[in-house]
Amino acid sequence: MLFIFSAGGLKDVRHYLDNEQNETYLQALVYGELSYVLRNNAGELEKQEYVTEIQDRLGELWAGLLISRDGEITSVAPFLQQASPHEDWKQLLEEPPKAAAFNSFRYETSEMNLTYPDGGEGKAVLLRRIDTVPIYWRPVGTLFSLAFICLTSLLLTYFVSRSIIRPIKKLEAAALQIKDGDLTHKVVATTRGEIGQLSIAFEDMRVRLKHSIDQSLQYEENRKMLLSHISHDLKTPISAIKGYVEGIMDGIANTDEKRIRYMETIYRKASDMDQLIDELFLFSKLDLQTVAFDFKVIDMSRYMEHFLDEQRFDLEKSGVRLIYENSGMHPTMIAADPDKLSRVLTNILNNCIKYMGQQLEESRKEIHVRLKELDEHILVEIEDSGPGIEKEDLPYIFDRFYRAEQSRNSETGGSGLGLAIVKQIIEGHGGMVWAENAEKSGARFCMKLPKSMLVKAVDDHEEHTNH
C-alpha cells in the first residue's frame, strides 16, 4: 500500500514489475556475453568502443568491470568511478576482496585471469552491487517499522479503549453502585453498536428496578399509613362508645331521656364505624385489584337520568336543587359496571351535600350535573354551589385518607376514602377523574369515561354509510 502510495499508482507498479523481469533477462544476456568474451575472445577488450559499450550495459545492471593488462589498469567502469571516486583500483585489482563496500552499498566481486591474443596477461574483476538500498537503510527501516508498529498499537489501544473498555468500565461502576443499592445514577450510552445496546439495556434495567423498589417502598409507606389511619379512625368512635356505655353503667344517664340520647349517640357512632369499615373493605379490595368489574354496555344518558331520578328525593329532602343538562342528542354508549358507577356518583353527590350543608342557606344549594359527548369519551361534570376546595388541597383530595383541614375539625369530616374509591373505580374503567373549582363558587368534579369500542365501531360504520 505504501509502495503504491509513494510510487504514484498502479501503472507505475506494473512498470516496476516489468523492469524487474527484463533485468534478469538483460543480466543473462550481458553476463553470458561477457563470460564468452573473457574466455575466448579477450581481444575484444582491447577495442575501446567495445569496452565502453559493455561497461555501459553493465552499469545499467549496477555492475562494472576493472580490466588490466600486464599489471596496468586499462579500464575502470564509470559506474564504479562514480560510486567511489578516490578508490585505489590497482590495489583492488591485485588482491580483490570477496566483497567490497562503496558509498553505503555492498558489492560482490568475481575475478578472472585472461590472455590477450598477442599473449599478454590480463585480469578482469567484476564488481556487482548486491544491495538495492544503502546499508544504513536497514536500521532506519527497522526503526521505522518499529515506530509504525508502536504507533498502530497505540492508536488501536486508544480506539479500543474509547469504544469498548471505557464504556465497559462505566457499566461495571454502575453495576457496583446498583449492588450497593444506589440506583440514582443514570447510565448513558456513549457508543453505538453492541456496547451501546448493552448500556441501553442496562439503563432500562436500572429504571425498572428503581421503579419496582420505589413502588414497594410506596406500598410499605401506604401500609403504614393505612394502619395508623385505621387505628386512629376506629379508636375515636370506640372511645366515645365506651364513654357513653360507662355513663349508662355508672348511672350518669339517670333519666330515660338521657339514656335514650346516650343510646342514640352510641348507635350513630357504631353506624359511622360500620360505614368506615365498609369503605375500607371496598377500598382495599379495589387497591389490591381483587374486585371484579362487571362491565356492561350502557346508555349513559338513560343511566344518568335514572340514577338522578332516584337521588332527587333524598337531595330535595336535604334542600338541594338538582339541575341535569345533557348536551348529547343520541344515545351515548359506554362500557361500565353500573353498580360501581353508582357508587362513584353517590360518593361525589354525598360530598357535595355534606360540604354545601356547612355554609349555605337552603335557597342557594344547587347541584348541576352535565353530560357531554367528546370524540372518544363521555364527560360527566358534577358541580355544587358550596365553598369549593382550597387550591393547595386540589391535587391531593383523591389520595386515600386525605381530608382538607376544614373538614377534619368539623362534624362533616368523613373517612377520607370517598374520593380515593371514586378514583380507583374510574381508573378501573380506563377513565380519568379530577376536581376543579367552578367559576362562581363551588367544587366541580369531572369524569372522563372512554366510549365503548363496540359502540364506536357501530358509530363509525354509520358515519361511513351516511357519507
Smallest gap from Cβ 423 to ligand ADP, in A, equals 9
Nearer to ligand ADP, 122 or 388 (CB): 388
Number of residues forming the site for ligand ADP (CB under 6 A): 23
Which region, judged by CB under 6 A, interacts with ligand ADP, from 43-51, 139-147, 227-235, 408-416? 408-416
Does 407 sit near ligand ADP (CB under 6 A)? yes
Does 247 sit near ligand ADP (CB under 6 A)? no
Nearer to ligand ADP, 334 or 420 (CB): 420
Of 114, 113, 110, residue with least CA distance to 42: 114
Smallest gap from Cβ 406 to ligand ADP, in A, equals 7
How far is it, in rounded angstroms, from Cα 121 to Cα 255?
168
Interface mask (CB under 6 A) for ligand ADP, residues 386-405, using x and -? xxxx---x---x----xxx-
How far is it, in rounded angstroms, from Cα 413 to Cα 376?
36
Sites for ligand ADP among residues 51-80 (CB under 6 A) = none
Beta-carbon contacts of residue 266 (< 8 Å; ≥ 6 apart): 241, 244, 245
Q: How does DSSP assign 121-173, residue by residue?
A: EEEEEEEEE--SS-TTHHHHHHHHHHHHHHHHHHHHHHHHIIIIIHHHHHHHH
First to last CA, the chain: 72
Which region, judged by CB under 6 A, interacts with ligand ADP, from 60-68, 231-239, 244-252, 383-391? 383-391
8 A C-beta contact, residue 83 and residue 28: no
Selected binder of ligand ADP within 414, 448, 451, 452 (CB under 6 A): 414
Selected binder of ligand ADP within 443, 447, 449, 452 (CB under 6 A): 443
Smallest gap from Cβ 416 to ligand ADP, in A, equals 4
Smallest gap from Cβ 386 to ligand ADP, in A, equals 5
Which region, judged by CB under 6 A, interacts with ligand ADP, from 76-84, 293-301, 349-357, 359-367? 349-357
Smallest gap from Cβ 362 to ligand ADP, in A, equals 17
Burial label for 402, CB within 10 Å (0-12, 13-18, 19+), is middle
C-alpha grid cell, residue 47: 577495442
How far is it, in rounded angstroms, from Cα 109 to Cα 62?
13
Does 415 sit near ligand ADP (CB under 6 A)? yes
Selected binder of ligand ADP within 64, 237, 416, 431 (CB under 6 A): 416
Question: Which amino acid belongs to residue 178?
Answer: I
8 A C-beta contact, residue 199 and residue 174: no
What's the residue count for the chain?
467
How far is it, in rounded angstroms, from Cα 213 to Cα 207?
10
Nearer to ligand ADP, 189 or 348 (CB): 348
Selected binder of ligand ADP within 62, 79, 262, 355 (CB under 6 A): 355
Does 311 sit near ligand ADP (CB under 6 A)? no
Residue 193 DSSP label: H
Per CB under 6 A, residues contacting ligand ADP are 351-352, 355, 384, 386-389, 393, 397, 402-404, 407, 413-420, 443
